[in-house]
Amino acid sequence: KQEVTQIPAALSVPEGENLVLNCSFTDSAIYNLQWFRQDPGKGLTSLLLIQSSQREQTSGRLNASLDKSSGRSTLYIAASQPGDSATYLCAAHDSSYKLIFGSGTRLLVRP
Amino acid sequence: DGGITQSPKYLFRKEGQNVTLSCEQNLNHDAMYWYRQDPGQGLRLIYYSQIVNDFQKGDIAEGYSVSREKKESFPLTVTSAQKNPTAFYLCASSIDTELIKPQHFGDGTRLSIL
């Protein structure tokens, strides 16, 4: 059974710092991995989707990588801003139609 | 603007009462999903539908029911059999259930017990 873990659960950094959020999964037979952002009391916004055949995806200051062999994905945020403060969730798409979610990393970027 | 609309934003349920959460999308997506989110946790799948008039149970379907009579609508009923309904409910859709397509989410409904 696929399990997705995100570490750390919470992170506080000063503005301008580059940071990495980690996501690990137990079953390497995933079809894709998706990173989401969730603001308090809101739904999820899709940030990046990495297909199993890809190694990374980039969008602006965000870069997500995927290493299926080690069961890991990372989300790199460059030059962090207070507006980046939110909860970041990763989710793995396995061989069913389900997304398996991690419990998220709560990020605070201090001005 | 295309998107997913969930209503109401807040909902209160009395003991023994069934309540229905609305989810409407104008993205022309075939697949729709309902998730439950508890504090500090990830999302868990309740039900999903790949096409009109068809739906399947997810991981935590007990105490919930759905219908998919129209492509754009996928309402979720929280029945009295769901003993712990307090949670944040999120509806999502994707163009189809092909595994390379991202899911898009609504803004959620927060359900509480009176």
Q: What is the pLDDT of residues B39-71, one digit of tens each?
A: 878 899 999 999 999 999 999 999 999 999 999
Nearest CA in chain A to B31: A97
- Is A4 near chain B, with CB under 8 Å? yes
C-beta atoms of B108 and A93 within 8 A: no
Rg from Cα positions in chain A: 13
User: Residue B99: pLDDT above 80?
Assistant: no
Place of tokens 């989707």: A49
User: Residue B102: pLDDT above 90?
Assistant: no
- Is A2 near chain B, with CB under 8 Å? no
- Is B93 near chain A, with CB under 8 Å? no
Is B93 exposed, middle or buried (CB count within 10 Å of its CB: 0-12, 13-18, 19+)?
buried
Torsion of CA B48, B62, A95, B102, to 10 degrees: 40
Q: Note the pLDDT of residue A73.
A: 97
Taking CB atoms and an 8 Å cutoff, what residues of chain B touch A101? 42-44
User: Residue B30: pLDDT above 80?
Assistant: yes
C-beta atoms of A93 and B99 within 8 A: yes
- Segments in chain A below pLDDT 50: none
> If DSSP states are collapsed to H, E and C, what string results for B41-107?
CCEEEEEEEEECCEEEECCCCCCEEECCCECCECCEEECCCCCCCCEEEEEEEECCCCCCCCCEECC
User: Residue B98: pLDDT above 80?
Assistant: no
User: Residue B100: pLDDT above 70?
Assistant: no
Q: Note the pLDDT of residue B97.
A: 66
User: Residue B29: pLDDT above 80?
Assistant: yes
pLDDT band at B20 (very low <50, low <70, confident <90, very high): very high
- Is B105 near chain A, with CB under 8 Å? yes
